[in-house]
């Protein structure tokens, strides 16, 4: 899952990035409105955290421009202005959620999880796929109740597949959604991680769809 | 018309002046007329006395003769009030001549009464006639042929004074009537003048009422030159009042932004630090951020005190709020059911209404199972409640509160459940806002067992 943080306060930006990275997200960050707008317009993020009061371009205009360009990713607005008129303006500009400063990081992470789940059509905090069970809250995966130990990259990959289970996910999509912007994007690494995941999960649920990508399915692959 | 009013002052002074001047004028006119009538009557008598003197006191006669001309037919009618009399003064044996009307009576002599002659030699007097009727007499003393050292005669002509009095009384009656009508007319015109003259003040009164009720934002209309400066000053005052509030609000907002981001940083940093110091800083930062919120809310409220003429239609506020809240709580799929009459209007700031309803609805959504009901009613003007009120109820179908919990929250705006942040503070700001509008916010048990909050606010 890839997240963009647009926040001009350096310290808060750093805190957000590290908290999100610790929770298993690939995080990009922007310190001003123009950069934030550009990243959100060009990169496929799963969630964007957007401050309203930004230098160069304010959050509401950024959001309105994204929505006008039909970019539908979930956006959580982060602002010190917590009047209901501000919230209404933010939501009407196309935000999906609203968080007033100061906030608890746990609260923010919960909202991010909720947006990711909502975007992929899952209602509960736990996503199941056959014997596999993903607890988005604690970032843990179990198979038939047994916990599977994963590295952060492996977790990201599996979590993305589980959020989109039953659907074919291309390698490009995986690369775009799993790595930060400046990460060395070698699609071979995806294959390596898929291979590792297959070893760690007792039942092979990850299907390779030749020429298209991968699919996580409840029914184990035949043969 | 009130006792202490411009209209009363203008009207009473004008009316008093009218009531003072009209009788004086009447008195003067009456006096002039009476003198005039008297003078003309006297002129007639003088003419008669002169004519009779010339006629009856001819040269070469031994004694005066009765005038050959009748002059006045009433001299012939007994006791008609018109008389003449020629009396010898020196020769006591000479005969006395009188008009037939006088019969056997005689006329009193002004000369004998000691009245001095005027420039023409006539003596004037008012006396009683043969019947006791008032008479006007004129006496001329002359000699036969107007020659010196011959016996003198007194020639007296009398006319009825009551005829004169009747004429004057008649005039007085008509004059009084005319002046009284003029007086009534003047008072009526004054009343109209005052009303008409002060009409622009009425207009201002209406304009101010419109501003208070929010129907207008400035004092409109073409006003007369005298009060036009008042109008422009008042409009400037309203504008600057609004500007001050808006500026204060902007600055409070800026302060909020300036404080909240560093507080967020400190809180997050401290919570990451698993030491005693970290915990202490996190705890203190939490207190600070709540204080910031608390006092910023109150600063916003204070900035708004006595802002005049803001009216907010309720229905347009509800739409966006409900949309926003349903979106914020879309995980729970809470449905907000709204009933609101289209003409409900809140007498106050839009932002404040949004704040109150937003906090109440947000609270209700947090606790609700399925639905939140928002009902707005406008209670009409009655004798007991001189103004229209808004009765707003926000009820959820959640677990609700016990009587004891409700009493505690109602008292302090306390937060009962730490896991649902902001609920207590949200409620306390709603209570403070409602109070600042002289309204109230009460907690009750909802029809579906949840919490119901009744908000009472001024309406227009």
Which pLDDT tens digit goes with each residue over A184-202?
667 677 888 888 888 888 7
Who's near B411: CB < 8 A, 6+ residues apart? none
Which pLDDT tens digit goes with each residue over B387-409?
788 899 999 988 888 877 777 77
Q: Mutation test of the interface with chain B: which of A84, A96, A104, choosing the one with the most B Cβ atoms within 10 A?
A: A84
Q: Which residues of B touch A80 (CB under 8 A)?
A: 256-261
Averaged pLDDT for residues A91-119: 88
Please answer yes or no on whether A114 and B331 come within 8 Å at the CB atom. yes
Please answer yes or no on whether B261 and A9 come within 8 Å at the CB atom. yes
| Mean pLDDT lowest among A147-151, A176-180, B300-304, B431-435 | B300-304
Please answer yes or no on whether B324 and A87 come within 8 Å at the CB atom. yes
Closest residue in chain A to residue B256, using alpha carbons only: A80
Q: What percent of chain A has pLDDT over 70?
A: 96
Q: Which residues of A touch B268 (CB under 8 A)?
A: 12, 15, 19, 104-105
Closest residue in chain B to residue A7, using alpha carbons only: B261
Question: Quick one: pLDDT at residue B303?
Answer: 61
Distance from C-alpha of A87 to C-alpha of A90, rounded to nearest angstrom: 5
Q: What does each C-alpha distance from B387 to B102, B314, B379, B438 come to in angstroms?
A: 90, 17, 9, 12
A85 interfaces chain B, CB cutoff of 8 Å? yes
Q: Which residues pair with A47 in a beta bridge?
A: A3
Question: Chain A window 19-58: which residues touch B at a Cβ cutoff of 8 Å?
Answer: 19, 53
Please answer yes or no on whether B324 and A105 come within 8 Å at the CB atom. no
Please answer yes or no on whether A105 and B354 come within 8 Å at the CB atom. no
Q: Which residues of B touch A82 (CB under 8 A)?
A: 256, 293
Backbone angles phi, psi at B397, to 5 degrees: -105, 30
Please answer yes or no on whether A80 and B259 come within 8 Å at the CB atom. yes
Q: Which residues of B touch A87 (CB under 8 A)?
A: 324, 328, 358
A91 interfaces chain B, CB cutoff of 8 Å? yes
Q: Find the helix or strand (DSSP H, E) in which B98 lies.
A: strand B97-98
CA distance B366 to chain A (A): 14
Averaged pLDDT for residues A201-219: 81
Q: How high does pLDDT run on average in chain B?
A: 83
A82 interfaces chain B, CB cutoff of 8 Å? yes
Q: Is the pLDDT of residue B417 over 70?
A: no
Question: Quick one: pLDDT at residue A6?
Answer: 95
Question: Quick one: pLDDT at residue A68?
Answer: 92
Integer-rounded Cα Rg, in Å, for chain B is: 51
Averaged pLDDT for residues B22-38: 93
Q: Which CATH number fits domain B312-458: 3.40.50.300, 3.20.20.450, 3.30.565.10, 3.30.160.40?
A: 3.30.565.10
CA distance A16 to chain B (A): 9
CA distance B377 to chain A (A): 22
CA distance B192 to chain A (A): 52
Please answer yes or no on whether B256 and A12 come within 8 Å at the CB atom. no
Closest residue in chain A to residue B353, using alpha carbons only: A84
CA distance B240 to chain A (A): 23
Please answer yes or no on whether B358 and A96 come within 8 Å at the CB atom. no
Among all chains, which residue has been given the structure tokens 């002509």? B157
Residue B419 banded pLDDT, cuts 50, 70, 90: very low
**Which domains are present in chain A?**
2-119 (3.40.50.2300), 126-216 (1.10.10.10)
| Mean pLDDT lowest among A180-184, A219-223, B387-391 | A219-223
Q: Which residues of A touch B256 (CB under 8 A)?
A: 80-82
Question: Quick one: pLDDT at residue B309?
Answer: 64
Joined tokens for residue A25: 């997200």
Question: Quick one: pLDDT at residue B24?
Answer: 94
Q: Is the pLDDT of residue B412 over 70?
A: no
Distance from C-alpha of B306 to C-alpha of B379, rounded to nearest angstrom: 24
Residue B359 or B146, more confident: B359
Provide the CATH number for the domain formed by B60-160 in this structure. Answer: 3.30.450
Of A84, A101, A114, the CB nearest to B264: A101
What's the CA dihedral at B247, B250, B251, B253 to 10 degrees?
160
Please answer yes or no on whether A83 and B271 come within 8 Å at the CB atom. no
Distance from C-alpha of B159 to C-alpha of B75, rounded to nearest angstrom: 10
Please answer yes or no on whether A92 and B323 come within 8 Å at the CB atom. yes
Q: Is the pLDDT of residue B416 over 50?
A: no
Residue B298 or B393, more confident: B393
Averaged pLDDT for residues B312-339: 88
CA distance B410 to chain A (A): 22
**Dihedral sign of CA atoms B42, B43, B49, B53 in order:** positive
Q: Is the pLDDT of residue A151 over 80?
A: yes
A124 interfaces chain B, CB cutoff of 8 Å? no
Q: What does each C-alpha distance from B372 to A91, B147, B333, B434, B448 come to in angstroms?
A: 20, 132, 11, 21, 10
Of B260, B272, B321, the CB nearest to A101: B260
Residue B214 banded pLDDT, cuts 50, 70, 90: low
The region that residue A134 occupies, defined by phi over 0 for left and psi between -120 and 50 for alpha, beta otherwise, is: beta
**Whole-complex ipTM:** 0.74
A107 interfaces chain B, CB cutoff of 8 Å? yes
Q: What's the first-to-final CA gap in chain B, in angstroms? A: 28
**A203 close to A220: Cβ distance less than 8 angstroms:** yes
Question: Quick one: pLDDT at residue B57?
Answer: 82
Burial B414-447 (b: 16+ CB within 10 A, else e): ebeeeeeebbbbbbbbbbbbbeebebebebbebe
Residue B228 or B214, more confident: B228
Averaged pLDDT for residues B239-261: 78
Please answer yes or no on whether B259 and A82 come within 8 Å at the CB atom. no
Please answer yes or no on whether A84 and B285 come within 8 Å at the CB atom. no
Of B267, B293, B354, the CB nearest to A84: B354
Residue B76 or B292, more confident: B76
Residue B23 banded pLDDT, cuts 50, 70, 90: very high
Q: Is the pLDDT of residue B425 over 70?
A: no
């Amino acid at each position: 899952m890839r997240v963009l943080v647009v926040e001009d306060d350096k310290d808060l930006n750093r805190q957000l990035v590290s908290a999100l990275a610790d929770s298993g997200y690939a995080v990009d960050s922007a310190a001003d409105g123009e950069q934030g707008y550009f990243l959100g317009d060009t990169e496929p993020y799963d969630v964007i955290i957007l401050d309203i009061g930004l230098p160069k371009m304010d959050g509401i205009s950024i959001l309105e421009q994204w929505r006008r360009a039909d970019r539908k990713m979930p956006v959580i607005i982060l602002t010190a202005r917590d009047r209901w008129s501000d919230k209404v303006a933010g939501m009407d500009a196309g935000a999906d959620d609203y968080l007033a400063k100061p906030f608890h990081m746990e609260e923010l992470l919960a909202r991010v999880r909720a947006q990711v789940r909502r975007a992929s059509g899952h209602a509960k905090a736990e996503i199941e796929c056959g014997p596999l069970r993903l607890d988005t809250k604690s970032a843990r995966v179990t198979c038939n109740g047994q916990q599977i130990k994963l590295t952060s990259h492996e977790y990201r990959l599996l979590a993305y597949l589980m959020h989109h289970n039953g659907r074919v996910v291309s390698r490009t999509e995986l690369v775009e959604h799993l790595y930060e912007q400046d990460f060395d994007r070698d699609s071979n690494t995806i294959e390596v991680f898929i291979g590792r995941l297959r070893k760690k999960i007792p039942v092979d649920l990850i299907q390779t769809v030749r020429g298209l990508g991968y699919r996580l399915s409840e029914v184990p692959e035949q043969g | 018309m009130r006792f202490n009013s411009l209209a009363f002052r203008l009207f009473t002074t004008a009316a008093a002046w009218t009531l003072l001047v009209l009788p004086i004028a009447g008195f003067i006119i009456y006096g002039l007329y009476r003198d005039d009538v008297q003078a003309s009557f006297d002129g007639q008598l003088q003419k008669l006395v002169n004519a009779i003197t010339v006629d009856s006191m001819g040269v070469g006669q031994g004694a005066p003769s009765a005038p050959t001309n009748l002059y006045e037919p009433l001299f012939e009618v007994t006791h008609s009030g018109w008389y003449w009399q020629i009396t010898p003064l020196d020769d006591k044996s000479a005969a006395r001549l009188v008009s037939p009307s006088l019969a056997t009576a005689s006329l009193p002599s002004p000369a004998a009464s000691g009245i001095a002659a005027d420039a023409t030699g006539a003596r004037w007097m008012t006396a009683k006639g043969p019947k006791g009727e008032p008479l006007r007499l004129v006496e001329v003393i002359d000699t036969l042929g107007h020659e010196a050292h011959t016996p003198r005669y007194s020639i007296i002509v009398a006319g009825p004074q009551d005829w004169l009095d009747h004429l004057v009384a008649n005039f007085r009656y008509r004059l009084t009537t005319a002046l009284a009508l003029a007086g009534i007319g003047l008072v009526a015109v004054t009343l109209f003048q005052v009303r008409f003259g002060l009409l622009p003040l009425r207009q201002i009164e209406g304009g101010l009422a419109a501003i208070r009720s929010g129907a207008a934002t400035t004092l409109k209309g073409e006003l007369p030159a005298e009060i036009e400066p008042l109008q422009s000053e008042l409009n400037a005052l309203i504008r600057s009042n609004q500007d001050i509030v808006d500026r204060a609000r902007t600055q409070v907002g800026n302060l909020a932004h300036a404080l909240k981001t560093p507080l967020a940083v400190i809180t997050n940093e401290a919570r990451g630090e698993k030491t005693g110091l970290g915990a202490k800083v996190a705890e203190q930062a939490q207190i600070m951020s709540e204080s910031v919120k608390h006092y910023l809310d109150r600063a916003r409220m204070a900035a708004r005190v006595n802002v005049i003429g803001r009216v907010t239609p309720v229905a347009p506020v509800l739409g966006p709020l409900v949309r926003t809240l349903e979106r914020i709580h879309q995980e729970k799929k809470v449905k907000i059911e709204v009933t609101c009459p289209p003409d409900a209007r809140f007498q106050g700031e839009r932002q404040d209404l949004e704040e109150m309803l937003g906090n109440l609805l947000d609270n209700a959504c947090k606790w609700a199972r399925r639905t939140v009901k928002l009902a707005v009613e406008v209670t009409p003007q009655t004798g007991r409640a001189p103004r229209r009120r808004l009765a707003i109820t926000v009820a959820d179908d959640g677990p609700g509160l016990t009587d004891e919990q409700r009493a505690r929250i109602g008292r302090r705006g306390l937060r009962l459940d730490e896991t649902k942040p902001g609920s207590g503070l949200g409620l306390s700001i709603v209570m403070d806002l409602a109070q600042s509008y002289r309204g109230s916010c009460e907690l009750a048990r909802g029809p579906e067992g949840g919490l119901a909050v009744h908000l009472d606010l001024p309406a227009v």
